């Protein structure tokens, strides 16, 4: 069996924020991929605005570097569970993985998730203990933790013999020993070339190319990115696309792109083992196989993670609709959602009875909130409903998604956390006391119990807790209410501007969400009530002017700072009868029914229907 010894295909996998993208930066720089005078941004692989701002990878990206005349194709994968579908498909394209683990934090939920996917595909692992220069780094214990995780996930004997590289991505250094770092990352390059298997060279056999990722370009349309598993593909070649439904379509390969550094370069042909992008097919989808017309043989279909959360997207119909956005009509919003489906395979968009509303399903709150954030930045206005988990029927039983939750908190907060998770129907699996004042708690919690939990979690742990969760499985539905908001809200009774006088009058009733001067409308949520019922307030009330000097005239009053909520916090905060209105400039919370009397009538009707 011949091998293509000039190529290595690897994926970099890790928990979020363990330094994957920074490590890829260093590999790119040290391999001489960039010219000496070339301006390259930090975390060069994170090209999206939101990726750069938040320091997270959302879309898997590929790059290629040359080391000692060997071409190393590197896939940088996302670390968040919401983008787990991307990680799973990348595993099919590569022969080995670099598992990056933080030298202080050790194994985290996402480390477990991505490693499980890699071991299932029988990939060769190299463990990189990163951030070795951190204070309190504990590399030896972390390597033991990783080994325990490999054993727990049923790794085979070969996989358990993984090489370990100790690295500092930020300093661009690595070594095979824990005590002293080399000047560069030579030892990591060597470990990749030595340990990751070279692809099999079966380029003389009939072509098989499978699409793992999609891209879209206005000039050439849809682009399929994937791996040539066998054979050779050339520009101008007539090929068949084996569709997911079993049908086949013929087309011509119009362009082929290879990867070099951060650029795509046009190439004329690709052989077995190459990772390439192909254009020329209009309706190509993830998991479909390209093969010769006379030798139609499809590869096994790739598994795509099912959505677990859904929201209703509605055309903005608030009193302030159309003030800030360029795209406000249902046609424009629908076009944008359909465009998203071109590249995002974990997303679903379903029509409803109304032409102005769609049910959008995704992998989690982060997945959907990033879509909403991108839309508002592009000039769209829309309203979204409370996120809801997707319930499935399995063997006649209604089941809901359950998440595996890992919480790291200072010892004194463990009681409060266990109580709050218990109230959300969580089961405790494990409790580990590291002896340094920090406790690690592991639970299984229904996904609906986690909606809106992060704000409560932050206040319970005073900001010192860390919470991570990944999808675990579908389990029979828990009875009764799980999670949800307990407090009522303060609702504006009229249109106008929030005044300092109006805010001071209602401050003691709860927490205010708006600053003085903010425009408000009837039915808009302006604060949280400190009781369980909603309260209608006059936040735009102005002080009566008189010509009599008041005895307290010279006393200045201080106002509490309002709680200004981000998009994620707003989505988590919503109740069933509320919308979050999203525009390019503003995020507002509102009642679905703006008029107080109408709201009360609807609530009475609902109550009567519940009794009958």
Over the stretch 502-511, which tens digit does the pLDDT of each residue have?
A: 998 898 898 9
The pLDDT assigned to 45 comes to: 44
Q: At residue 58, does pLDDT exceed 60?
A: no
More confident residue, 591 or 46: 591
Query: So what's the pLDDT on residue 369?
Result: 87
Burial class for 483, CB neighbours closer than 10 Å (0-12, 13-18, 19+): buried
Q: What is the pLDDT of residue 44?
A: 44
Question: Where does 392-476 sit in CATH, by number?
Answer: 3.30.70.240
- Least confident range from 84-88, 347-351, 593-597: namely 84-88
pLDDT at 379: 92
- For tokens 């010219």, the residue is 35
pLDDT on residue 83: 63
Residue ranges of the chain assigned to CATH 3.30.70.240: 392-476
537 vs 266: CA distance, rounded Å: 63
Q: Please name which of 343, 333, 329 lies closest in space to residue 375, comparing C-alpha atoms.
A: 333
Of 277, 269, 264, 260, which Cα lies nearest the Cα of 210?
277
Q: What percent of the chain has pLDDT over 90?
A: 18
Residue 133 burial (CB < 10 Å; 0-12/13-18/19+)?
middle
Where in the sequence of the chain do the CATH 2.40.30.10 domains occur? 208-292
17 marked ligand binding residue = yes
CATH topology of domain 7-195: Rossmann fold (3.40.50)
Structure tokens given for 584: 């390019």
Task: Domain 208-292: give its CATH architecture.
Answer: Beta Barrel (2.40)
Q: Which of 120-129, 353-362, 557-566 has the lowest mean pLDDT?
A: 557-566
| pLDDT above 70 (res 573) | yes
Mean pLDDT of 549-563: 67
Segment 225-240 shows an average pLDDT of: 87
Q: List the alpha helices (DSSP H) in 92-156.
A: 109-120, 139-152
Does residue 522 surpass a pLDDT of 90?
yes
pLDDT level of residue 289 (50, 70, 90 thresholds): confident
Residue 102 has pLDDT above 90, yes or no: no
**Least confident piece of the model among 109-118, 314-323, 335-344, 401-410:** 109-118
Does 18 belong to an annotated binding site? yes
Q: Which residues contact 102 (CB under 8 A, 6 or more apart)?
A: 15, 17, 18, 19, 108, 130, 131, 134, 142
Q: Is the dihedral of CA 467, 473, 479, 485 positive or negative?
A: positive
Domain with CATH 2.40.50.250 in the chain: 483-544
Annotated binding residue 131: yes
What stretch(es) of the chain map to CATH 3.40.50.300?
A: 7-195
The answer on pLDDT for 36 being more than 60 is no
Average confidence (pLDDT) over 433-445 = 83
Quick one: pLDDT at residue 154? 84
State mean pLDDT over 564-571. Answer: 87
The reply, when asked if residue 77 is annotated as ligand binding, is: no
Question: What is d(CA 187, CA 407) in angstroms, rounded to the nearest whole number?
Answer: 35
Pick the CATH number of 483-544 from 3.90.1150.10, 3.40.1010.10, 1.10.3720.10, 2.40.50.250: 2.40.50.250
**Two tokens, residue 463:** 């900001």
81, 471 Cβ separation under 8 angstroms = yes
CA angle 570, 341, 321 (to 5 degrees): 45
Find the range with the poorest average confidence among 22-36, 41-55, 244-258.
41-55
Q: Residue 99 pLDDT more than 50?
A: yes
Name the residue among 117, 272, 120, 262 with its Cα closest to residue 210.
272
Q: Which two tokens stand for residue 334?
A: 């629908």
**Would you say 29 is a known binding-site residue?**
no
Per DSSP, the three-state class of 364 is coil
Radius of gyration of the CA atoms of the chain, in A:
27
Report which listed range, 290-304, 549-563, 567-581, is most confident.
Answer: 567-581
Q: What is the pLDDT of residue 557?
A: 62
Mean pLDDT calculated for residue range 260-289:
81
pLDDT > 50? residue 39? no
Model confidence at 50: pLDDT above 60: no
pTM above 0.85, yes or no: no
Of 81-90, 415-424, 446-455, 594-603, the least confident: 81-90
More confident residue, 432 or 559: 432
pLDDT value, residue 514: 92
Q: Say yes or no to pLDDT of 177 above 60.
A: yes
Evaluate if residue 525 carries a pLDDT over 90: yes
Which pLDDT score, from 0 to 100, does residue 46 have?
A: 43
**130 marked ligand binding residue:** yes
Confidence of residue 592 (pLDDT cuts 50, 70, 90): very high
Average pLDDT of the chain, as a whole number: 83
Identity of the highest mean pLDDT range in 224-233, 352-361, 397-406, 414-423: 352-361
Quick one: CA torsion of 107, 110, 116, 118, rounded to 10 degrees?
-100
* More confident call, 554 vs 491: 491
Asked whether residue 329 is marked as a ligand-binding residue, the answer is no
Mean pLDDT of 476-482: 80
């Amino acid at each position: 069996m011949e091998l293509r010894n000039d190529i290595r295909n690897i994926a970099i996998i890790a928990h979020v924020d363990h330094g994957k993208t920074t490590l890829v930066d260093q590999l790119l720089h040290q391999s001489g991929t960039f010219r000496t005078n070339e301006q390259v941004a930090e975390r060069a692989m994170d090209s999206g605005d939101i990726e750069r701002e938040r320091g997270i990878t959302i879309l898997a990206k590929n790059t290629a570097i040359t080391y000692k005349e060997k071409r190393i194709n590197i896939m940088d994968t996302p670390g968040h569970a919401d983008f787990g579908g991307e990680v799973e498909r990348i595993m099919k394209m590569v022969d080995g993985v670099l598992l990056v683990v933080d030298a202080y934090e050790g194994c985290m939920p996402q480390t477990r998730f991505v490693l499980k996917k890699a071991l299932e595909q029988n990939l060769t692992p190299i463990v990189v203990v990163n951030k070795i220069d951190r204070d309190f780094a504990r590399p030896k214990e972390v390597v033991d933790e990783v080994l325990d995780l490999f054993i727990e996930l049923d790794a085979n004997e070969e996989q358990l013999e993984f090489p370990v590289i100790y690295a500092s991505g930020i300093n661009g250094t690595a070594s095979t020993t824990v005590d002293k770092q080399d000047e560069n990352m030579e030892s990591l390059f060597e470990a990749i070339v030595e340990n990751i298997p070279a692809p099999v060279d079966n380029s003389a056999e009939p072509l098989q190319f499978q699409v793992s990722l999609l891209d879209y370009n206005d000039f050439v349309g849809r682009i399929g990115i994937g791996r040539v598993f066998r054979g050779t593909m050339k520009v101008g070649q007539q090929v068949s696309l084996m569709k997911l439904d079993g049908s086949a379509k013929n087309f011509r390969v119009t362009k082929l792109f290879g990867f070099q550094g951060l650029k795509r370069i046009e190439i004329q042909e690709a052989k077995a083992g190459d990772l390439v992008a192909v254009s020329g097919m209009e309706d190509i989808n993830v998991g479909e196989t390209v093969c010769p017309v006379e030798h139609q043989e499809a590869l096994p279909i790739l598994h795509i993670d099912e959505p677990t959360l859904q929201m209703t997207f509605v055309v903005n119909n608030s009193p302030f609709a159309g003030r800030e956005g360029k795209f406000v009509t249902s046609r424009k919003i629908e076009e944008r959602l359909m465009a998203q489906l071109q590249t995002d395979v974990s997303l679903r968009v379903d029509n409803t009875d109304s032409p102005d509303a769609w049910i959008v399903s995704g992998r989690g709150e982060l997945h959907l909130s990033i879509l909403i954030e991108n839309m508002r930045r592009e000039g769209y206005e829309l309203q979204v409903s409370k996120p809801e988990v997707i319930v499935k029927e399995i063997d006649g039983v209604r089941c809901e998604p359950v998440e595996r939750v890992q919480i790291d908190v200072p010892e004194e907060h463990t009681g409060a956390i266990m109580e709050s998770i218990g109230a959300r129907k969580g089961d405790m699996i494990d409790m580990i006391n590291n002896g340094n004042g920090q406790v690690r708690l592991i639970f299984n919690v229904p996904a609906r119990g986690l909606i809106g939990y992060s704000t409560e979690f932050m206040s319970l742990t005073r900001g010192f807790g860390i919470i991570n969760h990944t999808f675990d499985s579908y389990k029979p539905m828990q009875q009764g209410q799980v999670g949800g908001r307990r407090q009522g809200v303060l609702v504006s009774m009229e249109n106008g501007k929030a005044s300092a006088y109006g805010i001071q009058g209602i401050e003691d009733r709860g927490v205010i969400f708006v600053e003085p001067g903010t425009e408000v409308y009837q039915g808009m949520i302006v604060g949280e009530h400190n009781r369980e019922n909603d309260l209608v307030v006059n936040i735009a009330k102005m002080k009566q002017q008189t010509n009599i000097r008041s005895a307290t005239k010279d006393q200045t009053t201080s106002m509490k700072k309002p709680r200004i909520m981000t998009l994620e916090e707003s989505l988590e905060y919503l109740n069933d009868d509320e919308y979050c209105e999203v525009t390019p400039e503003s995020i507002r919370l509102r009642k679905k029914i703006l008029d107080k009397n109408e709201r009360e009538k609807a609530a009475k009707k609902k109550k009567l229907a519940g009794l009958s």
